[in-house]
Structure 1
Amino acid sequence: MITYREALPSDYKEIALIHAASWKKHYKGILPDSCLDDKLESDRLEIWKSRFAENNPNQNVILAEDEGQIIGFACTYLHHKSGHGSLLDNLHVLATHQGKSIGLTLMQKAFDWAKNYAPTENLFLTVLSENELAKGFYYKIGGTLEEEYMEEFPKGNSILVQRISWNKRPTL
């Protein structure tokens, strides 16, 4: 049975490993191999350790668990500095658990949390333009394309991304 809960600082290692595994699976052939090399796991570990060390009240991380094992997560930030609303910065579900509405439920929980604290803001994310699988999912659950632009990515690469937003709760 899938359960959902807020992440604890002690969850950072599992979150980082899911994050890295997702990038390796979904960004292969989109990002340069140098972004997906052996250093990716240690990079994600440092990022997540740092995020939890900050104790940011505008950050919320929701976990999906299957029998106590973390299988996915969503990380949201209120009042993103871009001015576009609340940012869904990360949404990742292990490949073994995709297609079971876990990503949708995580998005709904992220949306509900953001709307509770910032009711006038849309929820938005950015997605790599070449990531057709993710974009298909986002549009299927009610996302609206706001813009497409070049963004600086790790290791000095520029890549085409789309900003997709929701002003209503994501649903199928």
Structure 2
Amino acid sequence: MVTIREATPDDAVAFAAIVRACWRLVFRGIIPDSVLDRPEDEDIAERAARIRGRMVDGWRSYAAEHAGRIVGVARLAMVPVHGYDAEIDGLHVDPAAHRQGIGRALVRHACDHFAAHHERTLYIHVLRGNTGARAFYEAIGGTIVVEDTWSYAGVPHPAIGYAWADVAQLAGRLRTAP
């Protein structure tokens, strides 16, 4: 069984390892190999420092745990983005745990959090080439509202922003979805 809990700075290294694994799987051929092939220890340490810093700065993060191990992460930002109240800044599930409902559980939990804090609308940004994430966001009702670019290692990449008009409604749909 998967449980969702608020993350602590002590989770930053586990979060960084999951983000790295996801990026190496999903973004190969999309963003420069120089970004993906950095030495593991250095890459995880830098990612963990950024994640820890955001937590200390008040960003909320949630961990999905299974069998005592973190298998998914969601980073939340309760600031307006492109006219939407709140953002899931990062949603990553360990590649070994894909297609087990963990992403849905994390999004549902994030929506419950946003609704409890009177945030009504949701925004999520993704690289256009991340077809798996795009299919997931579209399957849970996301509407494309922004097309722009992100830059990695000085190279621009097409990106897409998805939005939902009602986080409480989305949470309810995710609660009843198979």
With normalisation by structure 2, the TM-score equals: 0.87
Partner of 1:149: 148
Deviation digits for residues 45-87 of structure 1, max 9, x if unmatched? Answer: 2211222332x1xx22111101110000111110235443211
Query: Which residue is equivalent to 2:118?
Result: 118
Which one of 162, 165, 174 corresponds to residue 164 of structure 1?
162
8 A contact 1:147–1:162 mirrored in 2? yes
SS at match of 2:153: helix
Quote how far apart the aligned CAs of 1:155 are.
2.3
C-alpha distance in 2 between matches for 1:81 and 1:142: 19
Structure 2: runs of 5+ lacking an equivalent: none
Preserved contact between residue 78 and residue 118 of structure 1 (Cα < 8 Å):
no
What is the one-letter code of the residue matched to 2:142?
G
Q: 1-side partners of 2:56 and 2:163: how far apart?
A: 28
SS of the equivalent of 1:149 reads strand
Deviations 1:20-51 (A, max 9, x none): 11111111111011111225323312211222
For the residue of structure 1 that corresponds to 2:92, the secondary structure is strand
Provide structure 1 residue ranges, at least 5 long, that are not aligned to the other structure.
none
Q: How does 1:15-30 map to 2 (within 5 A)?
A: 15-30=15-30
1:133-160: CA deviation from partner (whole Å, max 9, x where unpaired): 1100110011111021123x23222111
CA contact (8 A) 2:55 2:61 kept: no
> CA–CA distance in 2 between the matches of 1:22 and 1:80?
26
The one-letter code sitting in structure 2 at the alignment partner of 1:144 is: T
Q: Where does residue 84 of structure 2 map in the other structure?
A: 84
- For residues 78 and 26 of structure 2, what CA distance do their matches in structure 1 show? 26
Kept in 2, the 8 Å contact 1:76–1:90? The answer is yes
Deviating above 6 A after TM superposition, structure 1's stretches of 4 or more consecutive aligned residues are none
Residues 1:49 and 2:52 aligned together: yes
Instruction: Give the number of equivalent residue pairs.
Output: 167
- Could you say what the CA RMSD is over the residues aligned between the two structures, in angstroms? 1.6
Q: Distance in 1 between matches of 2:149 and 2:67?
A: 40
Deviations 1:102-133 (A, max 9, x none): 1001001111111221333x111111001111
Other-structure match for 2:65 = 65
**Greater relative contact order (Cα < 8 A, sep 6+):** 2
